[in-house]
């Protein structure tokens, strides 16, 4: 999904909004972990910008080191200047150091994968990721993105953010995909009810039909944005009863330990 809040609408609503800067950041944000390099046409399609505009942006970003031009081709990859931004952000997330051993223990117990994530637009981005030795890889790792609306981790995040922030997000989802909206809303409302009653949000085949997952949202404090931790994996390995009866208490305990490690 494309975030309608960038560049056009926001520019009209806020005179302090710098459209050129927003578009440049859109170009950088359109790269995914699976992308080795992208051409201007691919970037233009992902950002929904004219190719001529994208050409100027990629040229500028390359000169600044945020993009690197692939030798012998017309494609670009993320440049080393992006590492400064990512390293600075990750260095603030001390919670990763505390969470990782707890997450690994939970992954080993469940036989699945355990991820810590926070929201970026319409996606949850993994800032830490652990898998058991038995886990069947879902080609996900730190830096991977999965949709907020259909994933357990995204729904758990929705359960702990302020109501006005949740409502704003839901309105954006509805405007972008009104056809799928009734189905998405039903899944989200059920997940919010589960988070209140069970302590976890669920996604049993909603994100991918053969993947089950549960997640717990929480607010780390210390200026960090709301986050969530999920446990997931192939449906044939992680049944709903196993996740809810056996894994859920351990997941809640992991989140409790993290909250106690970072008191507000």
Give the pLDDT of residue 16. Answer: 78
**Exposure class string for 191-202: b at 16+ Cβ within 10 A, else e:** bbebbeeebbbb
The verdict on domain 8-85 having CATH code 1.10.10.10 is yes
Interhelix angle 95-110/248-261, nearest 10 degrees: 170
Give the pLDDT of residue 138. Answer: 59
Residue ranges per domain, the chain?
A: 8-85, 93-261
Alpha-carbon torsion, ordered 222, 227, 233, 236, to 10 deg: 130
CA atoms within 13 A on the CB side of 156: 30
* The CATH number, out of the four listed (3.40.50.720, 3.20.20.70, 3.30.450.40, 3.40.47.10), of the domain defined by the range 93-261: 3.30.450.40
Give the pLDDT of residue 264. Answer: 59
What is the number of helices (H) and of strands (E) in the chain? 11, 9
Regions of the chain short of the pLDDT cut 50? 1-12
Give the pLDDT of residue 13. Answer: 57
Give the pLDDT of residue 51. Answer: 93
Residues 101, 214 contacting (CB under 8 angstroms): no
Give the pLDDT of residue 7. Answer: 47
- Tens digit of pLDDT for each residue in 164-206? 999 999 999 999 888 999 999 999 999 999 999 999 999 999 9
Select from 145, 129, 151, 160 the least CA-distant residue to 225.
160
pLDDT-above-70 percentage for the chain: 87
Q: How far apart are CA 34 and CA 37, in angstroms?
A: 9
Asked, colleague to colleague, whether 8-85 and 93-261 share their fold, the answer is no
């Amino acid at each position: 999904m494309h975030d309608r809040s960038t560049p056009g609408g926001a520019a009209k609503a806020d005179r302090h909004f710098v459209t050129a800067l927003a578009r440049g950041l859109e170009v950088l944000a359109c790269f995914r972990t699976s992308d080795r390099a992208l051409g201007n046409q691919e970037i233009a399609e992902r950002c929904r910008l004219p190719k001529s505009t994208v050409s100027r942006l990629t040229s500028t970003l390359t000169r600044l080191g945020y993009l690197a031009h692939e030798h012998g081709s017309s494609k670009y990859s993320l440049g080393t200047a992006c590492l400064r931004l990512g390293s600075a952000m990750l260095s603030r997330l001390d919670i990763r150091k505390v969470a990782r051993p707890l997450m690994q223990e939970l992954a080993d117990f469940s036989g699945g994968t355990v991820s810590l994530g926070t929201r970026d637009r319409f996606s949850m981005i993994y800032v830490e990721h652990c898998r058991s030795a038995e886990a069947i890889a879902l080609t996900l790792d730190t830096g991977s993105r999965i949709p907020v609306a259909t994933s357990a981790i995204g729904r758990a995040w929705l359960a702990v953010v302020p109501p006005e922030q949740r409502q704003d997000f839901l309105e954006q989802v509805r405007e972008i995909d009104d056809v799928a909206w009734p189905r998405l809303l039903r899944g989200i409302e059920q997940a919010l009810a589960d988070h209140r009653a069970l302590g976890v949000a669920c996604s049993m085949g909603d994100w991918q039909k053969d993947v089950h997952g549960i997640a717990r949202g929480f607010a780390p404090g210390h200026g960090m944005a709301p986050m969530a931790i999920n446990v997931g994996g192939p449906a044939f390995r992680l049944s709903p009863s196993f996740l809810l009866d056996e894994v859920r208490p351990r997941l809640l305990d992991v989140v409790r330990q993290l909250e106690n490690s970072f008191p507000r």
